[in-house]
Amino acid sequence: MFDKSKFFQTDLVCPVCKIKFKQLKLKGGAFRTKTRDIDLCNTYEGINPNLYSSIVCPECGYANLDHSFQNKLSDVVISVMQKELPKSKIYKKDLTGERDYESAIEAYEQAIFCANAAGHSASLLAGIYFRMTCLAKSFGSSNEDEYRLKAAEFYEKAYDHEEFPLGGKMSQTLVEYMISSLYFKLNKLEQSIYWLNFSISRDPKGLTDPKAYTMIKELWMTVKSIIKK
Ligand SMILES: [Zn+2]
C-alpha cells in the first residue's frame, strides 16, 4: 500500500523541454540500509531507494539519474533529444509517482536510451546498470546478471577513457574493485583475478584509496578460498 508519509515532492525543471514538474522522492527515514554485499549492492529495510533514482520528464521523456538530471545540456544534445525522444518507448509516460519494479526498470531503460542518444559518459551508463543490477537482485529478477555484465563492461570502458575520480566520486582503486567484484559475482573468476592483480600491482601500498584497497584485499582472500576448493 502506498504510504504517503514516506515521500515528499520535489520541484524539477527538465533541461530539454524546460517544463517544471513535481517528482516523488523518498524521505531519508523511509529506508534503512541493512547489509552491503561484496558487489556493493545494499539490502534495505523499508522502501528500496533504487526504485526512485532515475528521473523521467513526464512531458518529453528525458531521463537521467537523480543527481545528474538537472545538469545543463548543450544545444546540440538538446536538439538530438528533441528528435530522438518521441521515438522512445515511454514518451509522455508519467513516472513521477509511486513506482513498482517494472516502472523503475522502465525509468532506467529510458535513462540508458537518453545517455546513448546524448553520448553521455560510460561511467554514467555503468552507474545506471549498476543500480539496475541491485534493484533486480533485491526483487529476485532473472535479469540481474545481464545488467551486471553491462555494468562491468561500462566500468571497464570508463576506466580506460575517463579521468579519476570517476564521475567526481569513485577513486581508481574503487573502480578496480567494482569491476573485479562484478566479474566475481558473474562467476568470471579469470577477469575478477585479473583486476585484483592489476590493482595490487598498480598500487601495492594502497595509497590511492586505503578503504577500497582493504576491500580489494578482502575480495582477493574470498577468491583465493574459492580457487583452492
Ligand atoms: Zn522534458
Neighbouring residues of the ion ligand 1, judged by CB less than 5 Å: 14, 16-17, 57, 59-60, 62
Distance (angstroms) between ligand 1 centre and the Cα of 21 equals: 9
Mean pLDDT of 45-65: 96
What would the grid cell of residue 147 be?
545488467
Boundaries of every domain in the chain: 1-161, 163-229
Distance (angstroms) between ligand 1 centre and the Cα of 6 equals: 26
Distance (angstroms) between ligand 1 centre and the Cα of 82 equals: 9
Residues ≥6 apart with Cβ < 8 Å to 215 = 174, 177
Per-residue model confidence as pLDDT tens digits over 130-162 = 999 999 999 999 999 999 999 999 999 999 999
The residue type at 191: Q
Per-residue model confidence as pLDDT tens digits over 171-226 = 999 999 999 999 999 999 999 999 999 999 999 999 999 999 999 999 999 999 99
Q: What is the pLDDT of residue 1?
A: 65
Residue 84: C-alpha distances to residues 36, 77, 114 (Å): 38, 10, 8
Per-residue model confidence as pLDDT tens digits over 7-28 = 999 999 999 999 999 999 999 8
Closest CA to 2 of 102, 104, 103, 98: 98
Distance (angstroms) between ligand 1 centre and the Cα of 13 equals: 8
Distance (angstroms) between ligand 1 centre and the Cα of 148 equals: 29
Please give the span between the terminal C-alpha atoms of the chain, in angstroms, as a whole number. 46
pTM (2 d.p.):
0.95
Q: What is the pLDDT of residue 90?
A: 87
Distance (angstroms) between ligand 1 centre and the Cα of 74 equals: 15
Task: Give the Cα separation of 198 and 184 in Å (integer).
Answer: 15
Q: Are 73 and 14 in contact (CB under 8 A)?
A: no
In this predicted structure, the answer to whether residue 2 has a pLDDT above a threshold of 80 is no
Residue 85: C-alpha distances to residues 129, 200, 225 (Å): 20, 44, 49
